[in-house]
Amino acid sequence: MVNTRITYMGLELKSPVIAGSCGLNREIETVKKLEEAGAGAVILPSLFEEQIENEIRELDEQSAMNSYPEAHEMMEYFQRRHVLDNYLQLIKDMKAAVSIPVIASINCYRYGSWTDYAREIAAAGADALEVNIFYLPSDPKVLDEAIRKEYLMIASQIARETTIPVSIKVSTYFENVARSLRDLSFTGIKGLVLFNRFYSPDIDIEKLEMVSGDIFSHHSEFHNSLRWTGIMYGKTDCDLCTSTGVHDGIGVVKMLLAGAQAVQMVSSLYTEGIGAVQAANEFLQLWMSSHNYQTIDEFRGKLSQENIKDPAFYERAQFLKYFSKYKH
């Protein structure tokens, strides 16, 4: 019998397959099923900074009191408190219902009052906190250095002031991805989640209007996470966890071989159901026994950039070779 136990951010997980942050994980019955299916941990849906701010703005506009600054402050306080209290209750309910680690999630886009929230989240019993820094650098006037600084400030402040392990979920929108990921890993965080998947805009060419792109990832999207997991393995001061495009056990094995400590799945939970986690775990166990691996440590990172003969496989050099084969 193979052993799929791992540690992620210091937490003991029965399996490296984690149910990533999404609305499904708000339901206790669903999370119980995920636990039965062998999920190593569950990440709750995020507490969204922007959503809280929008709700406060809407209330403010509706309110006849908005001419009084004190009224605005009071309303802001109560709205924040209301949203946070609901979230803290969700953490408590989930902790009481399952025994796998419950990871809370905050989705923010700037340095702010997150440390207070993080402290309360820890006190409510969350085993860890994933901070999704959802920042799209769309303003050409903003310098990359300023963006990097903001990320580093958020990460170090939350990691310093929170008693539970903190991971940061990032995008690839950095001028120097490797350097930024490495610097982030030295802020005291325990995990880096590669990567965020942004909402994608699309255009309806008949109605001439903006529409939402695919909500669920396509399998082929895993390559980017694979690339950076493979490149960053051994170069960070924290665990690497992958997110985006992992839909099955094959994807899980690939990410572990590239160097991931744990692997998140979301889209497949919606499209295939909770059974996707069980199938991924079963595949992982079968694959391990057919390759004579007893533990995940025996093969994690075996195909990372630092452990393969031709490191260019993860980089541009291979791209040139690949395309030079295709001639008109």
Ligand X SMILES: Cc1cc2nc3c(=O)[nH]c(=O)nc-3n(C[C@H](O)[C@H](O)[C@H](O)COP(=O)(O)O)c2cc1C
Note the residues at the interface with ligand X (CB under 6 A): 20-23, 45-46, 105, 107, 132, 169, 196-197, 215-217, 243-246, 265-267
CA separation for the pair 121, 138 (Å, rounded): 31
Task: Count other Cβ atoms within 10 Å, centred on residue 178.
Answer: 13
> And the tokens for 274?
């909770």
CB-CB contact of 133 with 181 (8 Å): no
With respect to ligand X, which residue has the nearer C-beta, 4 or 105? 105
> And the tokens for 218?
């396509």
CB-CB contact of 305 with 299 (8 Å): no
What is residue 45's DSSP assignment?
A: P
How far lies 110's CA from each of 30, 43, 102, 154, 189, in Å? 32, 21, 25, 7, 17
CA separation for the pair 94, 86 (Å, rounded): 12
With respect to ligand X, which residue has the nearer C-beta, 220 or 292? 220
With respect to ligand X, which residue has the nearer C-beta, 107 or 293? 107
With respect to ligand X, which residue has the nearer C-beta, 2 or 171? 171
With respect to ligand X, which residue has the nearer C-beta, 245 or 259? 245
> And the tokens for 60?
């403010």
In angstroms, give the least distance from the CB of 105 to ligand X.
Answer: 5
